[in-house]
């Protein structure tokens, strides 16, 4: 098993990796499929149907907007929002797609995206079907896609033969350290004498030069850090109709005003940690540029803990941020391979729980933890998110998602600290904890898996 650090941490667009980035990528992929198809000449219109969680919370997660952007040829990593907004407005007026290599295709973003609230498609809770039709409305080409979390997508055919996405599908013999479990990871670390980050880097070096790895990791952290700063500098109301206001800037300003005074509490360090995470997820909720870590809904945890490490930890070294990211990606890859990072499959334990485990592992590593202590840190953080539901109010990533990232970051630091106080030996292995998360997700009611049909989403203030 190998999942690249550049797949775990992807540059993307808010508010959701599974509901925004995945459907956008699927729509863009369909354009390429249509260009290569003999049916291209007969195509006159495009329509899209959303199923399962994509239907139930698609409006709140801007899935219909994401599909429109994908059909305009945009992909999450390279979208330029000012230009994209102009083209979206033109699309609303003209109701057609004029794209290179394709005939003019009718597409009304208000009516050509259907929300099917019936049973989900069989392959995954997040399914969509993109169809090209002829002038009489008869289908000439259709493809089913599943958005499986973290911005990853699979076609129905790939899902049916259990093909993992991207570099997961490569022959494991290509990688020097192809661990598929935490137990194997620790065994390889003992045998090689290498850290988890060093093994991960060696795997990356099969397909990337050292310069590319360094540049890619630097870009990830630069983007994460920039997202924190934007979130700390902006206030106002978040979109979506809940009238939720940004709080990160106000809290940051309060903390700065209290520094050095007798009003500053000992736990202000924890407040800074939380505000970093909230800043990122307020940006995500506003549809801004973020890095999946491993998803958009959990994008604030890892950058918040890295910022905490750099600003607050004794002996912090900016050069070690790369080791943090590589270690975190190794843990995220294990969770994705053996369970799920999708809220629609596993609830929020699969999103914020996974992010907290990744951040705990990364922090433990850069603070000098052994591979055994790193594995312990990840297990502690994940264990204490087990059973967490995904119940976004009104299908928006605002309540409880923004605060939940702050708490997930706090748990990550506590888990790393606890692991560093031990020798790495512990009762519950990370592999078993991941298995428990998978089983809990499988048995969790769909009401609590990103459908907004249960939990906080249906228990709202009456005023």
- Residue 166: is its pLDDT beyond 50? no
E strand residue ranges, 2-135: 11-13, 45-52, 96-97, 105-106, 113-116, 126-133
pLDDT in tens, 417-459: 999 999 999 999 999 999 999 999 999 999 999 999 999 999 9
Residue 326 pLDDT exceeds 60: yes
Q: What is the mean pLDDT of residues 204-233?
A: 97
pLDDT at position 458 is 96
pTM: 0.93
Q: What is the CATH number of domain 14-166?
A: 3.30.1330.90
Share of the chain above pLDDT 70, in %: 97
* pLDDT above 70 for 294: yes
User: DSSP per residue over 441-453, as a string?
Assistant: HHHS-GGGBSSSS
Q: Say what the pLDDT of residue 165 is.
A: 44
pLDDT beyond 90 at 335: yes
Residue 168's pLDDT band (boundaries 50, 70, 90)?
A: very low
> Given a cut of 70, is residue 171 above it in pLDDT?
no
Domain edges within the chain: 14-166, 172-458
Q: How does residue 167 score in pLDDT terms, banded at 50, 70 and 90?
A: very low
Give 143's pLDDT tier (boundaries 50, 70, 90).
Answer: very high
Closest to 127 (Cα-Cα) out of 101, 89, 163, 159:
159
For 74, 321, 368, the CA distances from 324, given in Å and listed in that order, are: 31, 5, 11
Give residue 120's pLDDT: 95
Residue range 157-165: mean pLDDT, rounded: 68
The answer to whether 126 and 18 are in contact (CB under 8 A) is: yes
Average pLDDT over residues 398-427: 98
pLDDT of 217 > 90? The answer is yes
């Amino acid at each position: 098993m190998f999942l690249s650090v550049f797949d775990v941490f992807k540059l993307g667009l808010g508010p959701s990796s599974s509901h925004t980035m995945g459907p956008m990528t699927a729509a863009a992929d369909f354009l390429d499929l249509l260009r290569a198809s003999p049916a291209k000449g007969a195509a006159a219109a495009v329509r899209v149907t959303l199923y399962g969680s994509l239907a139930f919370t698609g409006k709140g997660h801007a899935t219909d907007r994401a599909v429109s952007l994908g059909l305009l040829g945009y992909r999450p990593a390279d979208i330029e929002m000012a230009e994209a907004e102009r083209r979206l407005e033109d699309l609303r007026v003209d109701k057609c797609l004029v794209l290179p290599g394709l005939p003019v295709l009718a597409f009304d973003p208000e009516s050509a995206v259907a929300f099917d609230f019936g049973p989900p498609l069989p392959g995954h809770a997040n399914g969509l079907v993109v169809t090209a039709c002829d002038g009489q409305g008869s289908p000439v080409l259709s493809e089913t896609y599943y958005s499986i979390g973290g911005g990853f997508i699979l076609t129905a055919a790939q899902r049916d033969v259990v093909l993992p996405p991207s570099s997961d599908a490569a022959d494991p013999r290509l990688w020097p350290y192809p661990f598929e479990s935490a137990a194997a990871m620790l065994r390889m670390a003992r045998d090689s004498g290498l850290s988890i980050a060093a093994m991960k880097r060696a795997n990356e070096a099969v397909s990337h030069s050292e310069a590319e790895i360094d540049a890619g990791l630097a870009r990830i952290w630069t983007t994460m850090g920039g997202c924190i700063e934007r979130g700390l500098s902006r206030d106002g109301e978040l979109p979506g109709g809940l009238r939720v206001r940004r709080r990160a800037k106000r809290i940051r300003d309060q903390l700065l005003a209290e520094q050095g005074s007798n009003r500053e509490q000992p736990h202000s360090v924890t407040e800074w940690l939380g505000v970093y995470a909230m800043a990122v997820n307020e940006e995500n909720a506003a549809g801004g540029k973020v890095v999946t870590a491993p998803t958009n809904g959990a994008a604030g945890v890892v950058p918040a803990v890295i910022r905490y490490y750099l600003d607050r930890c004794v002996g912090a070294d900016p050069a070690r941020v790369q080791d943090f990211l590589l270690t975190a990606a190794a843990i995220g890859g294990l969770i994705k391979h053996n369970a799920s990072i999708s809220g629609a499959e596993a609830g929020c334990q699969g999103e914020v729980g996974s992010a907290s485990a990744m951040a705990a592992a990364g922090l433990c590593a850069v603070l000098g933890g052994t591979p055994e202590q790193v594995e312990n840190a990840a297990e502690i953080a994940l264990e204490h998110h087990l059973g967490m539901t995904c119940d976004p109010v009104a299908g928006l990533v605002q309540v409880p998602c923004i605060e939940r990232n702050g708490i997930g970051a706090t748990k990550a630091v506590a888990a790393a600290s606890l692991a560093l106080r031990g020798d790495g030996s512990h009762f519950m292995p990370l592999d078993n904890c991941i298995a428990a998360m998978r089983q809990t997700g499988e048995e969790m009611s769909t009401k609590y898996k990103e459908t907004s049909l249960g939990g906080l989403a249906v228990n709202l203030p009456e005023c």
